Amino acid sequence: MTDIHTPGSKRTLGTDVVIVGGGIVGASAALALRQKGIAVVLLERDVCGSRSSGINYGGVRRQGRLAAQLPLSQRAHHIWARLPELIGIDGEYVRSGHLKLGVCAADMASLENYAQMAARYDLPLEILDQQQLRRRFPWISQRAIGGSYCAEDGHANPRLVSPAFAHAAGRLGAQIFDQTPVSRIEHDGQRFIVDCPQLQVRAPLLINCAGAWGHRIAAWFDEQVPLQVSCPNMTVTEPLPLFMDASIGIEGGSIYARQVSRGNCVIGGGQGYTTSDTTARPGREAVLELMKVASGLFPALASAHLIRFWSGIEGNIPDRNPVVGPSHTTPGLFHGFGFCGAGFQIGPAVGEVLAELIDDGHTPTPIDAFAINRFSTASSTLMSTTIVSGDE
Amino acid sequence: MSSAASLTTLPPVIVGAGPAGIRAAETLVRAGLRPVLIDETAKGGGQIYRQQPDGFSRPAKALYGFEASRAEALHASWRALLDQVDYRPHTLVWNSEGGELDLLQVREQHYDGQPWQQLILATGATDRILPFQGWTLPGVYTLGAAQIALKYQATAIGSRVVFAGTGPLLYLIAYQYAKAGVEVAAVLDSAPFSAKLQATPAMLKGPAVFAKGLWYLGWLKARGIRIEYDAHLLAASGDQRLTAVRWRQQGQEQQLDCDGLGFGYALRSETQLADILDCRFQFDELNRAWLPVRDAMGRSSRDGVYLAGDGAGIMGADAAEWAGELAALALLQDSGRAVDATRVSQLQQQLARTRQFRQALEDAFPFPEQWVHEVADDVVLCRCENVTVGEARRLISELSLQDMNRLKAHSRVGMGRCQGRMCGLAAAELLAATSGQSVADAGRLRAQAPVKPLPYAIAPTVQQWSPALPVTAVAEEADHD
């Protein structure tokens, strides 16, 4: 890494790879690149891991993902198993099991179809009927008529895990700049020139991991992504006696819930609203609705209190898949953004994939479905699909 | 009247029925309006003039001492207002969104919404707390809580009680307890006596307050009540509950048996609602805290939001009454109504004088800046989340934390039931000292709804699955991590 500081001008750095965005994807990519001995500068507008990567629900889940994501998700599953050796903390990661509930026959049919599909990706799911559900999970009300259980899925604390990826990358020599927004990126034919208020970074390779703002960087290189922001609502209860021994999802969306070892139940659902380009608040109606749905499903909440609400800004893409892979307009540019509220679990695997693309030019993990040029041929039906909720 | 003002059809809303809120309401009523007055408690008066529950009958003089006539006057104003305002007792404002306040009816535990166009925040204050060993032991209370016990519940926090910390309330409450027949074993003031002597000339600018302070002190001394200066709390000890308190004075450790301890270091403003309403904040040196900015009339940075009383900066009960009236006059003025300029300038002068006097008080009862250097690692900093001082110090150093919200994210400080309202100030002192910054630069915890814990009981009874959140299969499933 070369530091070509000239007095009177802003600091200029040269490096192999510059990453824009210090969320779990960008930080994982920085870590994976450093493991390969490649020089990295990571630029984060705020503080690494403080946006959606750090304030999401914390689900570490394969069940429920689109088929195209399952290879990536399986790869991530193995990374999560090595979390302490990788980032130095356990991040409160537990394989509690992930239980997706159905509340009507159509839900159960859908869960069964999904289980058959997932089996082809070596993801074993156990379909539970109402009796089995009552026996295994007596804390769930009769509103649920069955479920699909994935024993090795679980949850973790995103507040701790996501910044820890950045810290781990920093310990391996990645140069990390917090509070460093990127104002402009140019390509001079050989290198990217990335301008920030106090810093200019020059590198032949650039990774765009700018989350819900990633499409703006893509647009600077003439690549259009129909990304729309969403603001999932998150709530947390005061600590309660432990009862919720699985992370809960509901077929079709609605709420999602988990209980941490301290006893707090983290429950998400519904949408908030943006208060600026970078900030969001929970929505009153949706929070009240969430409380209604959650207390209907989990009677133990009846006398509990919510102590905190929050929201964040997510990048949603109509086909519910992220953009991962090389640019189709600009050699040396790679993307990893737009995870549609489901990037926390797969983030570390995406980081490894991006590092492989840079180091080897290819990755063994199938990522064709995430190509950025898929939108140039997108049909109007694809564009009209809406995302109901997410949680990051 | 401007055209904008004529479009104002909603009644003004006042949050808080303490001295500021009641005087604001009175001013608006006098102008022919019928404001909504939202009160978290059962009866108006706020904390300092908190009323007894029905059926309790201690006389005002016994309850409020020198302040009896002011308390009675305020209560009389409140009673006179009851049929002229839309009074909402037992009501917590827990959030605001899109021109509507979210309310919790605390007793019935149900939800209510209150639309507003003009809002006066008179949200008051709580004790400023600095933790010490054993501060979570049963028998240890804040000064404010000890006072509520006496005034509202007609009970004492113990039979042999020590009061510690600093600030005018320290002596007032010792007096009130002693007057009520409770044994006050000692008053431990962390400020040195020299601070009081040095502040005396400036204190004379508020002669009435100063005289009262002297009187309390003299009264306590005359009854042989032990008063110690430069006395720094070290520990509250006891197995199941408090049995003794230990402090350091000029290098010497001292101990005293007691079964009740009230402590606090003056007050801190309750600012979450102003924060949720997006009012601009700045650091205030006098209060050693981030506060919502306001102009000389009490206007916040946000149109239609006015700030009054201790919730916007600690000035005391008298100043709160004046600021409440002034904020209401600002509201009326902004609605295109004529207001009495003489009265405005009189109120502003009184407030300016109070602020000068407030500086003298701060000099007489200085914030104990050495606390942050002396507090032991094993002291609990955040009791909701059980985070110790040592754990916070370690994380601040290891992760080079600079900002309160990052400290919260990494340590859980301020993440529990109180949302940092109790521990936030001490955590900011710790962050500033450990990271080598000023308290101002350490920043402030962003307020998040709900302002106080929100019971699930307000969720409407679920009769059937609601349509708002999809709970049956939909064509396109949305998932989450």
Three-state SS across B232-269? EEEEEECCCCCCEEEEEECCEEEEEECCEEEEEECEEE
Q: Could you give the percent of chain B with pLDDT greater than 70?
A: 93
Query: Quick check: B473 and A65 CB within 8 A?
Result: no
Minimum-distance CB partner of B472 among A54, A252, A389:
A252
Q: Which residue of B has its CA nearest to A391?
A: B480
Note whether A65 contacts B479, CB cutoff 8 Å: yes
Choose the closest CB to B448 out of A56, A107, A310. Answer: A310
Query: What's the rounded mean pLDDT across residues B261-267?
Result: 97
A167 with B399: Cβ contact below 8 A = yes
**Cα–Cα nearest to B132, from B385, B381, B365, B460:** B381
Mean pLDDT of chain B: 91
What pLDDT sits at residue B201?
77
Please give the pLDDT value at position A3: 55
Q: Report the candidate in A137, A171, A345, A360 with the shortest Cα–Cα distance to residue A245.
A: A137
| Chain B from 68 to 107: CB within 8 A of any A CB | 95, 97, 100, 102
DSSP B386: T
Work out the minimum CA distance from A310 to partner chain B, whole angstroms: 7
| B338 in contact with A, Cβ within 8 Å | no
Taking residue B148's Cβ as centre, other Cβ atoms within 10 Å add up to 17
> Which residues on A lie below 8 Å from B474 (Cβ)?
252-253, 388
pLDDT > 90 in chain B, percent:
77
B398 touches chain A (CB under 8 A): no
Provide the β-strand partners of residue B71. Answer: none
Q: Distance between CA atoms of A89 and B385, rounded to whole angstroms?
A: 20
Q: Helix, strand, or coil here: B376? A: coil
Tell me how long chain A is: 392
Q: Tell me, yes or no, if B450 comes closer than 8 A to chain A by beta carbon.
A: yes
CB neighbours of residue A13 within 10 Å:
20
pLDDT of residue B253: 97
Q: Which residue has the tokens 């140039």?
A: A376
pLDDT in tens, B61-114: 888 877 889 999 999 999 999 999 999 999 999 999 999 999 999 998 889 999
- The alpha carbon torsion through A63, A69, A75, A80 (nearest 10 deg) reads -50
Amino acid at A322: P
- Determine phi and psi for B464, rounding to 5 degrees: -150, 170
Tell me whether B454 touches chain A (CB under 8 Å). yes
CA of B474 vs chain A CAs: smallest distance (Å) = 5
Residue B144, token pair as written in the block: 């404010």
**Please, what's the b/e burial string for A154-184 (b: 16 or more CB within 10 A of its CB; e: otherwise)?**
bbbbbbbbbbbbbbbbbeeebbbbbebebee
Of residues A26, A51, A125, the one with CA closest to residue A351: A26
- Cis peptide leading into A232, omega within 30 of 0? no
Structure tokens at A93: 């990661």
Q: Which of B409, B453, B459 sits opposite A292 (nearest CB)?
A: B459
Per-residue pLDDT of chain A (392 residues; tens, 9 = 90+): 555 555 557 899 999 999 999 999 999 999 999 999 999 999 999 999 999 999 999 999 999 999 999 999 999 999 999 999 999 999 999 999 999 999 999 999 999 999 999 999 999 999 999 999 999 999 999 999 999 999 999 999 999 999 999 999 999 999 999 999 999 999 999 999 999 999 999 999 999 999 999 999 999 999 999 999 999 999 999 999 999 999 999 998 889 999 999 999 999 999 999 999 999 999 998 999 999 999 999 999 999 999 999 999 999 999 999 999 999 999 999 999 999 999 999 999 999 999 999 999 999 999 999 999 999 864 444 443 443 334 33
Write down the residue that tokens 């499903």 correspond to: A297
**Inter-chain CB proximity B410 and A388 less than 8 Å:** no
B contacts of A289 (beta carbons < 8 Å): 466, 468-469
Question: What number of other Cβ atoms are within 10 A of residue B38's Cβ?
Answer: 25
A163/B410 touch (CB, cutoff 8 Å), yes or no: yes
| Shortest CA gap B45–chain A (Å) | 27
pLDDT at position A163 is 96
Among candidates A107, A295, A391 on the partner chain, residue whose Cβ is nearest the Cβ of B473: A107
| Distance in angstroms (rounded) separating the CA atoms of residues A39 and A355 | 11
Minimum CA–CA partner of A107 in chain B: B473
Bridge partner residues of A323 (DSSP) = A337
Q: How many CB atoms lie within 10 A of CB A362?
A: 10
Measured distance CA(B467)–CA(A29) in Å, rounded = 41
Which of residues B167 and A21 earns the better pLDDT score?
Answer: A21
Distances from the Cα of B68 to the Cαs of A17, B151, B214, in angstroms? 72, 12, 18
CA distance A98 to B302: 45
The answer to whether the CB atoms of B472 and A110 lie below 8 A apart is no
Q: Which residues of chain A neighbour B382 with C-beta distances below 8 Å?
A: none
A·B CB contacts under 8 A: 173
| B455 chain-A contacts, CB cut-off 8 A | 303-305
Residue B394 pLDDT exceeds 90:
yes
Instruction: For chain B, positions 416-435, list CB contacts with chain A under 8 A.
Output: 416-417, 419
- Report d(CA B323, CA B312) in Å as an integer: 10
Residue B321 pLDDT: 98
Contact assessment for residue B360 and residue B213, using Cβ atoms and an 8 Å cutoff = no
Q: Which residues of B touch A249 (CB under 8 A)?
A: 479-480
How far CA A389 is from CA of A265, B98, B313, in Å, comes to 19, 22, 41
Contact A254 B97 (CB under 8 A): no
- Supply the pLDDT for residue B234: 96
Is residue B468 predicted with pLDDT exceeding 80?
Answer: no
- B476 neighbourhood in chain A, CB within 8 Å: 320, 385-388
Which residues does chain A have within 8 Å of residue B458's beta carbon, measured at their own beta carbons?
288, 291
> Which candidate, B11, B31, B49, B27, places its Cα nearest to that of B310?
B49
Residue B461 to residues A265, B107, B265, B464, Cα–Cα distance (Å): 20, 17, 44, 9
Kindly compute the dihedral angle of the four CA atoms of residues B69, B71, B75, B78, in this order, to the nearest 10 degrees: 110
Q: CB distance A290–B480 less than 8 Å?
A: no
Residues of B in contact with A256 (CB under 8 A): 480
Give the confidence band of B152 by pLDDT, cuts at 50, 70, 90. Answer: confident
B449 vs A: CB within 8 A: yes
Q: Could you say which of B454, B458, B476 has the minimum Cβ distance to residue A386?
A: B476
Interface contact B470, partner A, CB < 8 A: yes
Nearest CA in chain A to B386: A262
pLDDT at B246: 98
E strand segments, A156-198: 175-177, 184-187, 192-196
Residue B115 at interface with chain A, using a CB cutoff of 8 Å? no
pLDDT score, position B202: 77
Of A269, A284, A295, the CB nearest to B462: A295
Angstrom distance (rounded) from CA A24 to CA A43: 13
